[in-house]
Amino acid sequence: MQELFVIKIGGNVIDSEAGLQSFLKDFAAIEGNKILIHGGGKIATKMGEQLGIESKYINGRRVTDDATIDLVTMVYGGLVNKKIVAQLQSLGCNAIGLTGADGNIIPATKRPVKEVDFGWVGDVESSKLKVESLKLLLDSGLVPAFAPLTHDGQGHILNTNADTVASSLAVALSYMYDVRLIYCFEKKGVLENVDDDESVIKIINKKTYQQLLSEQKLFAGILPKIDNAFAAIDAGVKEVLVGDANDLIQNTTGKTSGTLFIN
Ligand SMILES: Nc1ncnc2c1ncn2[C@@H]1O[C@H](COP(=O)(O)OP(=O)(O)O)[C@@H](O)[C@H]1O
Ligand SMILES: CC(=O)N[C@@H](CCC(=O)OP(=O)(O)O)C(=O)O
């Protein structure tokens, strides 16, 4: 099978113009099949403040009411996605910007209301992804760049965590490719001590994960990232790595510097 890189870039890096540009330069230089998934949570929160739309997160997921789904559709599907595509084009990378509604690639279900009503948040069912069209794009030399938006098949856009979009695409594509999933963010990897960039945990399995949880060394956004990473490795993705956006080149060329997931 051919190799495919599925690479996710997080909102903290996107928020910095220089950080994003440097990451995209490295991403553009990767040879072979590749797909980018971007977040943008921080930018949506800032734009929301300007428009008087308050951001509320529960368990790492944005509560997405009517005003918020319009906000994130504009910010993720418009501003962030199209800026990234234009920058990749300027770097000679023939990117094509997509949401999960385009080509019906990522159908999802509106999260059922239990204790919390998350509003227009979509849960992806990995078995329903339609990734054959991605192969056609990749075979013709295009580089898909996904915004973290999905759809419900009834005319509604849904807001889906970008880490989940990345792992869902990686899993669905692993039937056609040897997929290497890399989560890029602003830290060196999963850290033993979040304030010490030298404390990277080189390899993590479920046992060490449980231990880190019991020692309360993990909190906030790293938790859904780790859950998504395990979901991907359990479902047949060949390699899953969490690492620094600045280390993308070395993480794609074998000298990995981040945290590798094993099951
Ligand atoms: N042990 C840990 N190692 C690394 N990051 C951690 C850890 N515990 C908590 N975090 C937090 O998780 C955040 C990453 O999650 P998130 O903000 O969702 O990333 P992204 O930018 O990819 O969306 C880091 O910025 C950090 O504050
Ligand atoms: C449902 C949900 O929480 N969606 C996320 C999608 C963006 C995202 O995941 O961006 P980062 O990768 O930058 O965090 C949100 O709106 O924040």
pLDDT single digits (tens) 149-206: 999 999 999 999 999 999 999 999 999 999 999 999 999 999 999 999 999 999 999 9
Dist CA 63 CA 58 (whole Å):
7
Contacts 24+ apart (CB under 8 A), 227-234: 228/161, 228/163, 228/164, 228/166, 228/167, 228/183, 229/167, 229/181, 229/183, 229/261, 230/206, 230/261, 230/263, 231/167, 231/171, 232/167, 232/170, 232/171, 232/181, 232/261, 233/261, 233/262, 233/263, 234/263
Question: Predicted confidence band at 126 (pLDDT cuts at 50, 70, 90)?
Answer: confident
Which protein residues are within 6 Å of ligand 2, measured from CB? 10-11, 39-41, 44, 61-62, 72, 121, 148, 159-162
Dist CA 227 CA 220 (whole Å):
12
- Atom number of ligand 1 nearest to Cα 193: 1
Domains present along the chain, CATH in parentheses: 3-261 (3.40.1160.10)
Binding-site residue positions for substrate: 40-41, 62, 159
Report pLDDT digits (tens) over 247-261.
999 999 988 899 999
Report pLDDT digits (tens) over 48-92.
999 999 999 998 899 999 999 999 999 999 999 999 999 999 999
pLDDT for 254 equals 81
Indicate whether this complex's ipTM tops 0.95: yes
CA of 72 to the centre of ligand 2 (A): 9
CA of 161 to the centre of ligand 2 (A): 4
Question: Predicted confidence band at 127 (pLDDT cuts at 50, 70, 90)?
Answer: confident
Dist CA 30 CA 7 (whole Å):
11
